[in-house]
Chain A
Amino acid sequence: AAGVIQSPRHLIKEKRETATLKCYPIPRHDTVYWYQQGPGQDPQFLISFYEKMQSDKGSIPDRFSAQQFSDYHSELNMSSLELGDSALYFCASSQPMGAHTEAFFGQGTRLTVV
């Protein structure tokens, strides 16, 4: 079965550079969630989209922005990168929002800022 695809799997950037992470949800899933997991830390919710509109926002820095496109894929744009942005970034997708609609996670993108 198709899963959530994230690209790239690994990314190395220098401080103050920008990075773009991509997420391709499972077919027919219209909801996308982004999470950030720092080293040895729990995943922290960043932002979510439903039908191409932002549906909820968590602890996402102002330097980050995200959007969901017409084909439901999503991109997380990160500017002025800092060392502390080094983390595993997960995307999850789910079918139309409902209380028992499971969100499936991708493999994650490991971002290293040097």
Chain B
Amino acid sequence: QKEVEQDPGPLSVPEGAIVSLNCTYSNSAFQYFMWYRQYSRKGPELLMYTYSSGNKEDGRFTAQVDKSSKYISLFIRDSQPSDSATYLCAMSVAGFQKLVFGTGTRLLVSP
């Protein structure tokens, strides 16, 4: 069983929709939780990261971490076609060292 599970999608939504992306994990030692966006043929780009439990908001993006359930989420409000990409969750025991990634969810936002 993988340490981090993520539905690969694809997830198709119309422009303006609220998108919910999720990951579950099994390692209770994880303390740092990240969301990366990856466009085709590009490297992962950090969107947000959270330490321990709680919520974090940045513009249209909100990250939530529920350590008791070992569940993290990324919400995208007012989704745009330019948000179409693969979204990878990642987590670690110590900062950005030795990240463990999910498989990524492919998001398609149609105009």
Q: Which single member of A48, A99, A101, A107 contacts B51 (CB below 8 Å)?
A: A99
B104 and A42 contacting across the interface, CB-CB below 8 Å: yes
User: Would you list which residues of chain A between 79 and 109 have a CB under 8 Å from chain B?
Assistant: 90, 92, 94, 97-108
Chain A interface residue number, banded: 20 to 34
Q: How far is the CB of B60 from chain A (nearest CB, A)?
A: 20
- Residues of B with Cβ closer than 8 Å to A? 4, 6, 8, 32, 36, 41-46, 49, 51, 88, 94-104
A103 and B96 contacting across the interface, CB-CB below 8 Å: yes
User: Cβ of B44: which chain A residues have Cβ within 8 Å of it?
Assistant: 43, 90, 105
* Known A42-B103, A99-B32; contact A56-B97, beta-carbon cutoff 8 A: yes
User: Cβ of B97: which chain A residues have Cβ within 8 Å of it?
Assistant: 33, 48, 55-56, 97
Check: A70 CB closer than 8 A to any chain B CB.
no
A42 and B51 contacting across the interface, CB-CB below 8 Å: no
B43 and A4 contacting across the interface, CB-CB below 8 Å: yes
Q: Which single member of A90, A92, A100, A108 contacts B95 (CB below 8 Å)?
A: A100
Q: How far is the CB of B5 from chain A (nearest CB, A)?
A: 10
Q: How far is the CB of B34 from chain A (nearest CB, A)?
A: 9
B102 and A106 contacting across the interface, CB-CB below 8 Å: no
